[in-house]
Structure 1
Amino acid sequence: MPKPIPTPTRTHPALTHRFSIPNRLFQSIYSISIFRAVINLTLVPVFSFRTLLGGLALGVRDVILGKPEVGREVQGVGMRELCEDESYGKHELATVNNVTLHYVTKGTGPLLLFLHGFPECWYMWTPLLSHFTATHTCVALDMRGYGLSDKPAGISPYHITELVTDVRELVKHLGHDKFHLVAHDWGGAIAWEYAHIHPDTLSSLTILNAPHFRTFNANMTPHQLWMSWYMFLHQIPAIPEWLYTRDGGDRFFDGAFEGVQTERVGENKVVYRAALMVPGAMRAAVTYYRAIYAARGRDLKWREVVEVPTLVVWGEKDPALDMEVNLAGLQNRFPNIEVASIPGCGHFVVDEQPEIVTALLDEHLKKNGGK
């Protein structure tokens, strides 16, 4: 039986959530940069040691029992082979902001740009592409570092201001002045930042389970820090990408999508795995996290309050991002925000509930200049 479509509301309880006194005390301490740095630096070795122990245990098990046979669902496919299939759109390359980016495009009409998250690629948007290409010029991007897009060396190329500039320059390359932006996870973090820097270019903004970094830090709780363990692991050079790719990515993708039981997930893991097994891709994807703390970005003008019509779709069972931490107070920065939360749904909302996401986005676009 199909799940009911939640109604977006400007008065969603998560927006006005009041944190407990202990959490408010922690937030006061965490807001002081030196204390925040000490807390974060302390957690890096804690979570790294925990993960290394787990990796060592897996290695010992593989030596004793041998590596498990790789099932068909995670065999992977060649990315260039996949790009010969144009059933979802035409595969194009654009050189912008000193990198060459791969994207898939189809349809005509207002520009509808999709940004994926970690550990995904353009392919996550295929259910929405099938629906919206009748009314929009749909563009699903492989962000820098992913799939067939360039993977520059170093950390600073992955600072969020560079990622924002990629989006701005790509939209110019496509010949559009304004567009609708839809984004998930890391793509959503970039989209939040883009809206603060280039709000006049947006007709609408749609965010799917993604942190607004300033809100995320302001609302930080000990529980969210624990949920964010992987962000601290990713600060360690080389180790995460070795762990994630040592067996061809099998265990990593099984773990990332654990508990996500839909018809699409098996197929999607094949493509996501192939995209991140391209040489240099996993390193680049993990470097996004390193650039949060270790890179200095370009100086871009940041607008505090953004009037862009904004829809947030949130899977309430996200194991990595607490809904209240990520949404509380966002209406002060985005006064035209509406939130629709999906009970029982986790982080990968498009993989888990594509029909609900499509219906919510369809309505949002119709209200804000889409067809």
Structure 2
Amino acid sequence: MPTAVINGVKINYQLSGEGPPIILLHGFTGSHQDWALQIPVLSNKYRVMAMDHRGHGKSEAPSSPDDYSISIFARDVYGLLRHLGISKTCIMGHSMGGFMALELALEHPEMVTALVLVDTSSGEWEQDPEFEQIRAKLKELARTEGMEAAFEYNAAHNAMIRERFEKYPEQREVSRQRMLQTSVNGYIYGGDAIWSWKPVTHRLSEIKVPALIVVGEEDAPFLKASHIMKESIADAEMVIIPGATHSPHEEAADAFNEVVVSFLDRLNLSA
């Protein structure tokens, strides 16, 4: 896979297909492989770019906490788009990737043709009151015992993750492998970036491009957040994927792909 040095960091990415561009932004502890069930479908009509964020997948992992924030992640995306000569694109972001998509839409509106926001928020979502303690333990385990230990602890003690694996047992090993591809720096400092991100809800009215908001029916922490985005973005529509939790693009890929392709086809991005 090709790489590019963006903002001093080697970024891994994948390009597929021809047509209007779409960039796919994965969530925390993910990689470009999170979109394995979307890329073959979308690349029939679109030029699809998926990347590994710094500290994730096969991209480089800077060692300083100052090198991680949602704004820095978004600047990497912007830099890679410029590197590839892409001046306008649709952006699809999942979870943390949705934070980046919103940052780009707000800071570089001239570059964004449409948004697909998947199980994400504008910075405010329902949080488990016990998760701060869990997160502190996960950071300690990642530092001292490695990513395998952090994964096992999260799978056992994080209620949202535990319930997801009970419902979709095949996702356990998929998630484990992606966690192991995430660097310790990316895990600790990327997690800190999520929790320190300032909400942009008050700015959502600035977004003028069409937005599709997709959320799993059983992703309780992000259902309310999705409704907030739907009500705050002028040209937004929202689809709830039945039975899905936090990753409908993997758990219910056929239904998810149908919703996304229908949205994109109606936009006629090639016009």
Q: TM-score, normalization: structure 1?
A: 0.63
Among 101, 119, 135, which residue is 1:209 paired with? 119
Task: Say whether residues 1:261 and 2:162 are aligned partners.
Answer: no
Q: CA-to-partner distance for each residue in 1:329-348, whole Å, 9 max, x for gaps?
A: 43454101100012321111
Structure 1 residues 112 and 304: alpha-carbon distance in aligned structure 2, compared to 1, 3 A threshold: same
AA at the equivalent of 2:82: K
Structure 1 residues 333 and 200: alpha-carbon distance in aligned structure 2, compared to 1, 3 A threshold: farther
Structure 1 residues 235 and 246: alpha-carbon distance in aligned structure 2, compared to 1, 3 A threshold: closer
Provide the aligned C-alpha RMSD in A.
Answer: 2.8
Partners of 2:121 and 2:222 within 8 A in 1: no
AA at the equivalent of 1:119: T
Partners of 2:30 and 2:57 within 8 A in 1: no
C-alpha distance in 2 between matches for 1:293 and 1:262: 28
Q: Tell me, which stretches of 5 or more residues in structure 2 are unaligned?
A: none
- Secondary structure of 2:72's partner? helix
Aligned to 1:363: 262
Q: Tell me, which stretches of 5 or more residues in structure 1 are unaligned?
A: 1-90, 297-301
Aligned pairs, how many?
260
Task: Say whether residues 1:291 and 2:193 are aligned partners.
Answer: yes
Q: Which has the higher contact order (CA 8 A, sep 6+)?
A: 1
AA at the equivalent of 1:345: A
Q: How does 1:1-371 map to 2 (within 5 A)?
A: 91-213=1-123, 216=124, 224-225=126-127, 227=128, 229-230=130-131, 233-234=134-135, 238-242=139-143, 245=146, 247=148, 251-252=152-153, 254-255=155-156, 256=161, 257-261=164-168, 265=171, 268-269=174-175, 271-276=177-182, 281-292=183-194, 305-318=206-219, 321-324=221-224, 326-331=225-230, 333-370=232-269
Structure 1 residues 242 and 155: alpha-carbon distance in aligned structure 2, compared to 1, 3 A threshold: closer
Determine what percentage of the aligned residue pairs are the same residue.
Answer: 21
Structure 1 residues 231 and 189: alpha-carbon distance in aligned structure 2, compared to 1, 3 A threshold: farther
C-alpha distance in 1 between matches for 2:218 and 2:138: 30
Aligned to 1:12: none
Larger Rg: 1
- Secondary structure of 1:170's partner? helix
What is the CA distance between 1:175 and its match in structure 2? 0.8
Structure 1 residues 133 and 262: alpha-carbon distance in aligned structure 2, compared to 1, 3 A threshold: farther
Structure 1 residues 369 and 243: alpha-carbon distance in aligned structure 2, compared to 1, 3 A threshold: farther
